[in-house]
Amino acid sequence: MLNNKLINLITNKTDAGKRIDQFISQNSELSRQRISTLITDGHILLNDEVVILKKIKLTGDNEQIKITLPEPIEEILEPENIPLNVIYEDDHILVIDKQSDLVVHPGAGNSTGTLVNAILHHCGSSLSGIGGQKRPGIVHRLDKNTSGLMIVAKNDLAHNNLSKQFMDHGKNGDLERIYDALVWGIPKMSSGKIETKITRNDRDKTKMMVAKNTKNGKLAITTYRVVEKVYNHKNEPLISQIRCKLYTGRTHQIRVHLEYIGHPVICDQKYGKGYNTKLMLLSSEYREQLKIDRYALHSSKLSFRHPISHELMKFESRLPDDLNLLKNVLSGI
């Protein structure tokens, strides 16, 4: 039973042999990482004795487990008044339409000016804490130059539930993530499934690649559908708008997969091998208009179950102005 800062649990015979961290995870909304931290900090008691090791096994003999949740620690990160396009908000979650050129989480070289800094300012005291800190729960990330829909948790309860939904990738639930991409060329197949292993690039650790050896890497599955085709004045294939659905969540997955099938995302300098060559074939007038500082990828649809009410939530975001301009300019060639 959850009563603000205290959780009381009682074991029974069916719990005999279970590790205490496993039992707590199954009977509360606390994540394994959060439980591990609480044990390390001495906040979990088993029959009124402090639990030291998370691998302690239970007897199932009506053991009393008491978990004290300390007040969230103030996040060191500074709130910043960065404009946010908030699509939906309640006491538990926040859905935003992220602009491009915005890093999601602070890291090396990005301690300020991030989405997290912006959310800290926007939410203020409504953040009850994630993992013992007053910070937003980033359930999934978009690359700096990818725009579109994102969901953020405001508390541990929402964060744990949403994390499980995203880890499942919609296999057993209603999670759905769809992206729109403008790519060079037009795929021969109007729809298809890309299933590969993705691993880190041996030559460039900032890049991912389709694994040459199927024993390496992690499974990545993307389906796609061509929603618009653009030809030049000679009726030659030029670009297309492709709608991609993710069934896994690998780093740079869509960008890697679209490069793999020979249709890289326009303006993607990391994975768009043919970008510079194709751009140089255009007239100087068109090249000038195409100088955008991000690649043409947008998170356009997001569906999930609300972590508290379990209501099915569906959100859509239209292609942003800069990508529509890009498409229109290329359509006029």
Distance in angstroms (rounded) separating the CA atoms of residues 326 and 5: 52
Nearest of 16, 34, 99 to residue 320 by alpha carbon: 99
Q: Which residues pair with 194 in a beta bridge?
A: 222
**CA angle, residues 187, 240, 170, in degrees to nearest 5:** 75
Residue 244 buriedness (CB in 10 A; 0-12 / 13-18 / 19+): buried
Amino acid type, 92: H
Q: Which of 143, 168, 204, 321 is catalytic?
A: 143
Instruction: Give me 157's structure tokens.
Output: 């309860």
DSSP conformational letter for 77: S
Is 204 catalytic? The answer is no
Radius of gyration over alpha carbons of the chain, in Å?
23
Q: How far apart are CA 218 and CA 236, in angstroms?
A: 37
Q: Which residues 6+ apart lie within 8 Å of 205 measured at CB? A: none
- How deeply is 61 buried, as exposed, middle or buried, from its count of CB atoms within 10 A (0-12, 13-18, 19+)? exposed
Calpha distance 2→19 (Å, rounded): 21
Q: Supply the residues annotated as catalytic.
A: 143
